[in-house]
């Protein structure tokens, strides 16, 4: 169900590239951050077991956790919300991924609470996708108003600070939270 505290400004997108360090990364997030749990590559039972581990950590740390996928599954798995383009009517927190003006227009009709707009910069997750760049990103973020925008794609605390709170509500990343190789 929806949390009483404000929506997080910092989000971690789960990814198989974390390996065994994923749970540690979630534990090290600032309190009351957000986690978008993906892992579609896992079989349903494996995905649910990993989600339960992530959920326990998130509850202890005061994080919000969104399940990438269907609202009904998110409700059954006790997530705070779901991350998907959907017209589902629910009291769960709803976020959606967007990449261009057409997707923003379509998704705005679904009334999500947050839009994850990407890729702002070059990203390891999608190395062959052309990034939006700061100017196009800002135009799309303005078009998304009054929805809250989370910047995604090559993001870090530093790059988020450059955008400022008028452009984005917060930022999300994978690599910014991964343990750096020795």
Per the domain annotation, does 1 fall within a domain? Answer: no
Contacts of 71 (CB under 8 A, 6+ apart): 82, 84, 86, 88, 90, 92, 94
Tally of domains in the chain: 1
Over residues 42-68, the pLDDT tens digits come to 999 999 999 999 999 999 999 999 999
Residue with tokens 């930022």: 171
User: In which domain, by residue range, is 111 found?
Assistant: 10-177
Question: From CA 142, how far away is CA 62, in angstroms rounded?
Answer: 30
State pTM to two decimals.
0.93
Task: Choose the weakest-confidence range: 12-16, 17-21, 41-45.
Answer: 17-21
Per the domain annotation, does 169 fall within a domain? Answer: yes
Per the domain annotation, does 2 fall within a domain? Answer: no
Q: DSSP character for 157? A: H
Contacts of 119 (CB under 8 A, 6+ apart): 99, 125, 126, 129, 131, 132, 152, 153, 154
For residue 123, the domain's CATH number is 3.20.20.70
Per the domain annotation, does 4 fall within a domain? Answer: no
Per the domain annotation, does 34 fall within a domain? Answer: yes
SS3 state of residue 124? coil
Per the domain annotation, does 182 fall within a domain? Answer: no
- The yes-or-no verdict on residue 3 having pLDDT over 50 is no
Locate 27 and state its tokens: 């534990």
Which of 79, 93, 10 lies closest to 39 in space, CA to CA? 79
3-state secondary structure 44-98: HHHHHHHHHHHHHHHHHHCCEEEEECCHHHHHHCCCCEEECCCCCCCCCEEEEEE
Over residues 95-139, the pLDDT tens digits come to 999 999 999 999 988 889 999 999 999 998 888 889 999 999 999
- High-pLDDT (> 70) share of the chain, %: 96
What's the CA angle centered on 38, arms 109 and 116, to 5 degrees? 40
Per the domain annotation, does 5 fall within a domain? Answer: no
pLDDT of residue 60: 97
pLDDT of residue 89: 78
């Amino acid at each position: 169900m929806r949390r009483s505290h404000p929506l997080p400004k910092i989000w971690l997108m789960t990814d198989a590239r974390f390996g065994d360090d994923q749970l540690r990364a979630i534990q090290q997030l600032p309190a009351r951050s957000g986690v978008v749990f993906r892992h579609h590559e896992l079989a349903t039972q494996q995905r649910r077991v990993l989600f339960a581990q992530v959920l326990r950590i998130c509850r202890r740390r005061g994080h919000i956790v969104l399940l990438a996928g269907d609202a009904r599954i998110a409700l059954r798995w006790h997530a705070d919300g779901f991350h998907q383009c959907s017209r589902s009517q629910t009291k769960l927190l709803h976020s959606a991924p967007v990449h261009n003006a057409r997707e923003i227009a379509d998704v705005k009709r679904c009334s999500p609470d947050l839009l994850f707009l990407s890729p702002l910069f070059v990203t390891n997750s999608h190395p062959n996708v052309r990034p939006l760049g700061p100017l196009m990103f800002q135009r799309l973020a303005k078009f998304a108003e009054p929805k809250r925008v989370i910047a995604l794609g090559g993001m870090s605390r530093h790059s988020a600070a450059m955008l400022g709170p008028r452009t984005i509500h917060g930022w999300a990343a994978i690599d910014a939270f991964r343990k750096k190789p020795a």
